[in-house]
Structure 1
Amino acid sequence: MTFISPRRSRPRLLHAVLAAGVMGAMAGPVALPPAYAADTEAASSFTPAQRQEIVGIVREALKTDPTILSDAIAALRNSANAAQQNAARTALDSHRAELLAPAANDGVLGSATAHATVVEFYDPRCPYCRKVLPDLDRLTHEDTDLRIIEKVIPVLGQGSLIASQALVAAFLQGGQDAYFRMQRAVMNDSTAPTVERMRTLATQSGLNATRLATDMNSQKVTAILEANLELARAIGLDGTPTFVFNARQIIPGAVDYDALKKAIAQNRQ
């Protein structure tokens, strides 16, 4: 995986600024990253007069060199980015097996035995998830050693839950073929999702609408969706779509064809 590296050196004055709490005194509270824990402990030994002297020194320094403040902000941002990337690395390592092999009820585009694996977490009501569908089809048609594992997660309210239940129920009824037929119907539909609407779409997709409506509220469908959500939370997902490339890199949000193809190439085993 490629991660953003923190800055390897920072001006000594930044340590004094952060340790003395000057940033907080000047611009409100600032959450300090763990890298500054020792400096923060040292700050507790300063007398009020010493703290005031440091404030004066920093204010004077800012007048002559305003870049000090931007450097301090950049240092905090870089440290936060590094911590976030480290957390992502740990999460991907911990769930590597789950992210490299499809679960029994996952939709899979492309070759089931491919070496390049992309996992997409998506919500069927998400407009960006709908927009990227043609790109996913194109990628798997162009690359015969690629598979895209689809994990549906309802994160956009009751309508998303109903649509997600219908997709999983379609898989239980007829496997991959039924799942993708129902997916095309659901994700090209502009009508608000209801159980009756799912019955209509199921009939149009050649499925047993009565069975689908019954299965939507089954324990098995609930368990599958809960497992998808649990894995999504474990890797720190905060929106849809989110893509995971060979359990090495996470890219959240709307991603176009070129960015997807580049990430696949960079993370290919």
Structure 2
Amino acid sequence: MIRNTFAAILLASAATLAALPAQAQETFDAKQTDAVRKIVRDYLMEHPEVIGEAIESLREKMRAQAESDAKKAIESRKDEIFSDVNDPVAGNAKGDVVVVEFFDYNCPYCKVVLDPMMEAVKADGKVKVVFKDMPILSEDSLTAARVALAAKKLGKYDDVHRAMMKFRGKLDEKTIFRLVGEAGANVDQIKKEMMAPEIEKQIRKNIELAHALDISSTPSFVVAGADGKAARTMSGAIEGQVFKQLFDITRKGGRLTGAN
């Protein structure tokens, strides 16, 4: 710890000195300037590993700060995250645990995680799932998001959502509308509804909300109690068993089994 602190001081001193304009550096005595440079150089030559340690320490501080900021954002915007009436919902709408998924229809990991997540939700019976479209991968992803939200307005969200998520390969506009028809939805109605201003607004809101939560990839999840408590964020293709553990941990107020 002492060595890391000393290293951080040295690196900060070196960075500060290097960043000073020439006029500012003139305020230092030439011997003092050379002495600082020599101390920093000698120490780093003898202990080059501290550079990596200092960088890792900075990364950890940044991660902790991002996590703290995300928790504050969850608390201040919990109604938008967990209870937006415009969001598609699955599972038990009155469940005591909520899983919010930010996803993209062209994200292969989102497709992989769908069945394990929904199987865990069904087996539990007391979990609400909220889907938030986050089309960040392509223009076709945006088209798919608009189509899905239009299908929700027409009562066909579940069928259209599953059809597009089950499709393996890149979704393009032609494929999207073919899948819509195969899912039993009216393609002409979907095309009309998908350009509604409220759908565009909802998608933009989802993306802005994701940024506020420091979510930048799909799939990403916010798991919390129905009241928004014990919330945590996770990313990636989570396995079904992990979802089950998350449900249990959330019900225990965010504590691991056996924790004090």
TM-score of Structure 1 vs Structure 2, range by shorter chain: 0.7 to 0.9
- Residue pairs, 1:170-189, within 5 angstroms: 170-174=151-155, 178-189=156-167
Does the aligned pair in 1 maintain the 2:81–2:100 contact within 8 Å? yes
Match of 1:193 among 172, 175, 179: 172
Q: 1:24 to 1:213 in 2, by over 3 A?
A: farther
Matching residue's letter, 1:211: Q
Matching residue's letter, 2:88: G
Shift of 1:45: 7.4
Structure 2 counterpart of 1:166: 147
Shift of 1:68: 3.3
Matched, 1:213 2:191: yes
Matching residue's letter, 1:138: E
Matched, 1:20 2:10: no
Q: 1:199 to 1:69 in 2, by over 3 A?
A: closer
2-structure distance, mates of 1:131, 1:168: 21
Shift of 1:225: 1.8
Structure 2 counterpart of 1:117: 98
- Residue pairs, 1:235-254, within 5 angstroms: 235-246=213-224, 247=228, 248-254=231-237
Shift of 1:24: 8.4
* Structure 1 alignment gaps of length 5 or more: 1-6, 30-42
Structure 2 counterpart of 1:261: 244
Deviations, residues 161-215 of structure 1 (Å, cap 9, x unaligned) = 11111111110001xxx11100121122346421x54443222212222111111
TM-score (norm 2): 0.81
- Residue pairs, 1:1-269, within 5 angstroms: 11-21=4-14, 47-101=29-83, 103-174=84-155, 178-189=156-167, 190=169, 192-194=171-173, 196-246=174-224, 247=228, 248-268=231-251, 269=253
Q: What secondary structure sits across from 2:216 in the alignment?
A: coil
Matching residue's letter, 1:214: K
Structure 2 counterpart of 1:39: none
Shift of 1:63: 4.3
Q: Pick which of 75-84 and 144-153 moved more.
A: 75-84
Does the aligned pair in 2 maintain the 1:118–1:148 contact within 8 Å? yes
2-structure distance, mates of 1:48, 1:264: 63
* Structure 2 alignment gaps of length 5 or more: 20-24, 254-260
Q: 1:191 to 1:79 in 2, by over 3 A?
A: closer
Q: 1:68 to 1:201 in 2, by over 3 A?
A: closer
TM-score (norm 1): 0.78
Q: What secondary structure sits across from 2:90 in the alignment?
A: strand
Does the aligned pair in 1 maintain the 2:109–2:218 contact within 8 Å? yes
Does the aligned pair in 2 maintain the 1:109–1:140 contact within 8 Å? no
1-structure distance, mates of 2:128, 2:17: 49
Q: What secondary structure sits across from 1:267 in the alignment?
A: helix
2-structure distance, mates of 1:152, 1:172: 15
Q: What secondary structure sits across from 2:141 in the alignment?
A: helix
2-structure distance, mates of 1:47, 1:220: 64
Q: 1:10 to 1:154 in 2, by over 3 A?
A: same
Shift of 1:100: 2.7
Matching residue's letter, 1:193: D
Q: What secondary structure sits across from 1:147 in the alignment?
A: strand
